[in-house]
Amino acid sequence: MTKELFVACAGAGKTTKIVKAAIELTNNGSKVLIITYTQSNQRELVDKFVELGGLRKDLFVVKGWFSFILEDVVRPYQRCIFPNRITGINLNSSNPHKNGKFYISGRAEKIDGKYNIKHFFDSRNHAHTEFISKLACNIISESKVDIGKRIKSIYKRVYLDETQDFAGWDFTLLKKIIKAKELEFHAVGDFRQTIYHTSSNPKKPSTNSEKLAEYIKMGFVVSHLSDCWRSIDQICQFADTVHEGEKFAPTISKVEPPAEVNHTGIFYISEENVDAYVRLHAPMILRHGSRSGQYLEQYDNLQTFGTSKGQTTNHVLILATKPILKFLKGMANPFGKSSTATSQNKLYVAITRARFSVAFIVDDRHFAAKLWKEI
């Protein structure tokens, strides 16, 4: 069993689990690669490695997904398509070949049957991250190389952290890599926390269920990490309702609120009470985007759902968006039909930051009876 997928709930302690296993492997002289998407995650992994007593830093390799593709897949074999050394990556936030709504001409993938440099690279010869996994797949096919064999001969085990953020061409590339039977490949992630993708316009698979099905089809053995070491039971159960009906295992809280914490559970706050609430509980305040809820900017610790990812706090205060209100009121299909379920996932991320309490700012008569009051 060399291919495993761990579906984790928020607060499952993925990083600790990965680093502990990596320390054991590196102490035995095996090289371990951990691929993760965000830079903050890369730092956290390295810090954790030192914190937990890892000694063989030379065998503990942490790379970003794009660096991994560039260094271990693209560059070694790129000559079959592009003769000049690719010097780096260009981190795209959107399709680099579009100017507003218009496509820039001369940027097609192939021109006259030949790969187009301008499709894959910018003027400094840096690869567009938007197309880098596609580039990698093309290079693997053109150079007829067994990429899995190369990875396997360097690393004993590869961890793919934040698996949920991968989509489309990433999967095609993944399939080519895991062809190496003996390569130990562990994917770890939480599909409920998918809020960005490695590519802005992913091809399939893109939804949670599509991705999960794809992993199973590729031969991954799925197990769930459902023990939560962060949030109390009430929050875990509440968070689970965000993705009700999608086959996620129920989260089991492993923490009890300490005696000195007397504010626990789920709360609804009216706008006029926000000031009092913030003064009393000093929550992390979360809003959908940087333009929503301008009046909140007077408070410290204000973040968007997206930037809060990976953080932990005692109490959160969430500015409810329209879909969130619908969800809180128990209406059917509150998040609409988004292929990537981003707004649903963002809510899950926001809720699961909290150890002890989650409060929503609601401006709706529905909650009149439930509103929090300063005692």
Q: Which residues bind other proteins (CB under 8 A)?
A: 71-72, 75-80, 85, 143, 145, 150, 153-154
Nearest distance in Å: CB 134, other proteins = 19
Give the type of residue at 189: G
Integer CA distances (angstroms), 177 to 1, 59, 63, 86, 150, in order: 16, 20, 16, 21, 9
Give the type of residue at 58: D
> Between residues 151 and 286, which has the closer beta carbon with respect to other proteins?
151
Torsion region of 265: left, alpha or beta (phi above 0 gives left; psi -120 to 50 gives alpha): left
Nearest distance in Å: CB 155, other proteins = 9
Nearest distance in Å: CB 70, other proteins = 10
> Between residues 143 and 200, which has the closer beta carbon with respect to other proteins?
143
> Between residues 16 and 84, which has the closer beta carbon with respect to other proteins?
84
> Between residues 93 and 153, which has the closer beta carbon with respect to other proteins?
153
Nearest distance in Å: CB 141, other proteins = 14
Reported as type and span, the H/E element at residue 32 is strand 32-36
Mark out the alpha helices in 218-318 (DSSP H runs): 233-240, 274-281
> Between residues 139 and 188, which has the closer beta carbon with respect to other proteins?
139
337: its two tokens: 């039909």
Question: What's phi and psi for 94, nearest 5 deg?
Answer: -150, 180
d(CA 286, CA 283): 9
In sequence order, which residues have a C-beta less than 8 Å from that of residue 50 and are 6 or more positions away? Answer: 57
> Between residues 58 and 260, which has the closer beta carbon with respect to other proteins?
58
Nearest distance in Å: CB 153, other proteins = 4
Unique residue bearing structure tokens 């962060």: 230
CA diameter of the chain: 74
Nearest distance in Å: CB 148, other proteins = 12
